[in-house]
A and B are shown apart, each in its own frame.
Chain A
Amino acid sequence: MTPKTPAEIGGMGHSVKRKEDPRFLRGQGQYVDDIVLPDMLYLDIVRSPYAHAKIRNIDTSNALAIPGVAAVITGKDLAAYNLHWMPTLMSDTQMVLPVDKVMYQAQEVAAVLATERYIAADGADAVEIDYDPLPVVVDPKKALLPDAPVLRTDKQDKKDNHIWHWEWGDRAATDQAFKDAEVTVKQDIYIPRIHVSSIETCGCVAHFDKVRGKLTVWMTTQAPHAIRTVFALVAGHVGLAEHKIQIIAPDIGGGFGGKVPVYPGYVIAVAASVLTGKPVKWIEDRMENIQADSFARDYHMTAELAGKKDGQLTALRIKTIADHGYTDAAANPSKFPAGLFHICTGSYDIKAAHVEVDGVYTNKPPGGIAYRCSFRVTEAVHAIERMADLMAHEIGMDAAEFRMKNFIKPDQFPYKSALGWEYDSGDYAAALRKAMENVGYAELKKEQAEKRKRGELMGIGISSFTEIVGAGPSKHFDILGLKMFDSAEIRIHPTGKAIARFGTKSQGQGHETTYAQIVAEELGIPVDDVAVEEGDTDTAPYGLGTYASRSTPTAGAAGAIAARKIRDKAKKIAAYLLEAHEDDLEWEPGKFFVKGSPDRAKTIQDIALAAYTNHPQGMEAGLEAVSYYDPPNLTYPFGSYICVVDIDNGTGEVKVRRFMAVDDCGNIINPMIVEGQIHGGLTMGLGPALYEEIQYDDSGNILQGSFMNYLLPTAIETPNWETDKTCTPSPHHPLGAKGVGESATVGAPAAIVNAVVDALWHLGVRHIDIPITPPKVWKLLRENGVTG
């Protein structure tokens, strides 16, 4: 896509260097833990060692005896204000601090307030709690057995651990298609629990100003407005009203979905500040972050594909058990408890499909966040891409050829899937072809055949995914009733500079640059002249925040629409200044000119000045606009990834030799930033594929509770990602753009798994659950006669 604006303006398509970098490069970013206020107290949380236990007694005396410890807060203290329970984003309920029992290891049980961080830690260490352990349920399948202990004893009528059942699609047609199928494949696929682990953990500084009656909370949140409304609803009865609550999301060190939920630590800090009238800082440490904050994935799927012997797919059926931990604190649009899982027909034209998901309670931390996956799309893509590969291998068809045969064709768009989604645009074959050319697919297959003769294990895996992002149209999308529009407010100053505020909140995605580029694109104002702000609920227009790759599709669109409203007014002013009729004016980036007389022109800067000094009579002064954008549809970015692996048959280690990622996110605002998002997303796909997982033993003890065992890839484990792109604009988005931040995390794991299984297929291996660790591979090799 050739940019329409010159580099000096820096509109869409320019790899403008980031406006946010200067402060980060100098260590002058302002993250929550950098904020210090006078008289500030520190909060440290005492956590349960047990996964399920009654609280018999909490002895705070030793903690209170430490000089500098101001208070110890327990569930009973919060209960006095009815703050000990609060709603989750899925309208379930969660404990802030327990009164009766704990339901997961590392659950918050008490909170110590002290004058210094180190003293708060000593205080937390000194609180003594007696527990009576209760039977623990960690296996969601066992949780559904009739004799399983009922976990949610707080819910009066609850007699089991089943949260909800959700299904979608035509069950009868699907079942029939399976009956009629020439070939079927079936596979159990478990995607384990993983954790976001952004380098900055969660935290807040809560400051209740008693004199002004106003609460200000600096907070690691991806959705400041939603949080403000939730606080107003939850704590309205203790006197907090929404106009007196200000949520400020400062610089955030990575979100990825993990900074969407309302963690108990925030609520306790707010309560503590309200009670003491002092600022209260709560910053969790890494182990708390991994052990208690919302996890992602944890889907036990049984997937089936039906098709013809020639490779034509006819039906898809998936049954899933979703382990949500002790409460459904997922961050999904309320109508979709399994998120957008029903995108699982993927890039293929499958005529019949049916999915069902059952949510289950277990004694684990709560969640089911959208971890860089737009609401369960990684799970969906993993399922369909594994199954497609499985079927291709089963019938002896080349994996690329199989996909080409089944892809939705370009002329089928907008495409209505069997599970009800209307895909806006796509050209899947073009992306796959490009990936195959770039990586030298045919040569790789030859190399693999030769190596196989020598007993060397090499695999080639493909993932051709379709993502679904940009939640979403108000007809179907809300969180806690708040519709999922987003917003932009743009104001041009007399000297032609602009300020643009949005309802989203970047945690590294570069909005200060890309949103400025949207304004530059639409109004021709140079990128450097556009200040972008997000994250302060006192000033930003209402939005639902940044996650699920929704910013460009929603707030970005709002920015374009608001800018166009401004341009419409600017045209009127220009006509007035040029003494011409509006219809005789033409626009080029940065100026209106009279058709045929290009020297009779007014720049946007001229127009801005006029808006304050010489506006037409009868017109309001000023030059600004607001847009609340309700997207007509989601956007569907897609891509094809090809992964090449070599396996050490002695140690079972898998090495990703090459990874070619071809992505299509429609029109691109900043190619440099998009490429960076792909690199990062691929690494977040590599992690779960080979290294990351969270497991619990039968007593509910976490096995990967710190970075010692929760393994994040370093620069050594991470290959040199190769990227390329195709461009299929979104027909309904004002800029033709789609979201992209999560595509790579969604598409990558399947490519890696497919490559490993491909390497071992001739030995009889059909599937491996992620993470594909060396011991797993080693076991398969030895079981299948490879000594190494």
Chain B
Amino acid sequence: MAKIGIKVKVNGVERAAEVESRLLLVHFLRENLRLTGTHVGCDTSHCGACTVVLDGRAIKSCSVFAAQADGREVLTVEGLEQDGKLHAIQEGFFQEHGLQCGFCTSGMLMTGYAFLKSKSNPTDDEIRHAISGNLCRCTGYVNIVKAYQYAAAKLREGEEQL
């Protein structure tokens, strides 16, 4: 089958490629662009380990074709750190022990990044709802909620430019 040309802005950099139409966005990121921070954890769109931010919205990159990202912007976990400074959400996970094996973490971070842009003072319940599409087997979620709260507080302090 003929390949199609796509141009996607990934972490601020324009990337062009010839891809099969069936190529999933998660594989485009991981294999074509070698950005392996985004992970595959299931095959039925349940786990959220593949979460990236597409035009500002957190989505499951395993359930979107790379072709659909043509002309659009993707932010992955590799794009969170700016000028050697961790984003507040990354800092929150570090301070609050929000990760153990690290495999669901990039998904949790990207969901958090997008969520905290629209919710500056979330309740714990709102956070739990926000991460209900991201499965974790290690942490039991308690510290992830704390990590999000840490990040929210930091962002409110105005320490970060989003």
Contact = CB atoms under 8 A, between A and B. Distances in A.
A718 B38 CA distance: 25
Between A36, A254, A509, A684, the greatest number of chain B beta carbons within 10 A of the residue's beta carbon is seen for A254
B97 to A, nearest CB: 5
Given A28-B37, A198-B101, A720 B42 contact: no
A714 interface: yes
Contacts of B27: 117-118
Contacts of B141: 679, 683, 714-715, 718
Given A28-B37, A285-B43, A507 B101 contact: yes
Nearest to B93: A25
Nearest to A26: B81
Contacts of A678: 140
Chain A contact surface mostly: loop
A26 B138 contact: no
Given A25-B90, A27-B36, A253-B102, A676 B42 contact: no
A771 B34 CA distance: 41
Contacts of A118: 20, 22-23, 27
B128 A715 contact: yes
B142 A721 contact: yes
Nearest to B103: A253
Interface stretch (B64-72, B115-123, B129-137, B153-161): B129-137
Contacts of A34: 30, 36
Given A27-B35, A198-B101, A716-B129, A681 B41 contact: no
Contacts of A712: 46-47, 135, 137
Contacts of B77: 25-27
B144 interface: yes
Given A20-B102, A26-B90, A200-B101, A684 B137 contact: yes
Given A17-B94, A25-B105, A254-B138, A676 B39 contact: no
B41 A199 contact: yes
B145 interface: yes
A672 B80 CA distance: 25
Contact of B95 (A17, A286, A510, A682): A17
A670 to B, nearest CB: 9
Interface in B13-48: 20, 22-23, 27, 30-31, 34-44, 46-47
A734 interface: no
Interface range, B side? 35 or more
Contacts of B38: 27
Nearest to B34: A36
Given A26-B78, A707-B46, A707-B47, A718 B103 contact: no
A311 B34 CA distance: 64
A64 B64 CA distance: 30
B112 to A, nearest CB: 12
Interface string B77-114: 11011000010001001110101111111100100000
A21 B99 contact: yes
Contacts of A287: 43-44
Interface in A694-739: 706-708, 712, 714-716, 718, 720-721
A17 B134 CA distance: 24
Contacts of B76: 27
B137 A676 contact: no
B49 interface: yes
Contacts of A679: 139-143
Contact of A251 (B102, B131, B135, B145): B102
B135 A199 contact: yes
Contacts of B95: 17
Contact of A31 (B47, B80, B103): B103
A286 B41 contact: yes
B39 to A, nearest CB: 7
Contacts of B109: 25
B124 interface: yes
Nearest to B100: A508
A691 to B, nearest CB: 12
A673 interface: yes
Contact of A715 (B36, B41, B132): B132
Contact of A253 (B93, B101, B131, B133): B101
Interface string A416-451: 000000000000000000000000000000000000
Given A27-B77, A254-B138, A715-B141, 6 more contacts: A25-B90, A27-B38, A33-B36, A34-B30, A198-B103, A679-B140
Interface of A: 17-18, 20-29, 31, 33-34, 36, 117-118, 196-201, 251-254, 256, 285-287, 507-510, 672-673, 675-684, 706-708, 712, 714-716, 718, 720-721
10 contacts: A25-B90, A25-B99, A26-B80, A33-B40, A199-B135, A680-B100, A680-B139, A706-B42, A708-B44, A712-B46
Interface of B: 20, 22-23, 27, 30-31, 34-44, 46-47, 49, 76-78, 80-81, 86, 90, 93-95, 97, 99-106, 109, 124, 127-129, 131-145
Closest 3 CB pairs of A and B: A27-B37, A253-B103, A508-B101
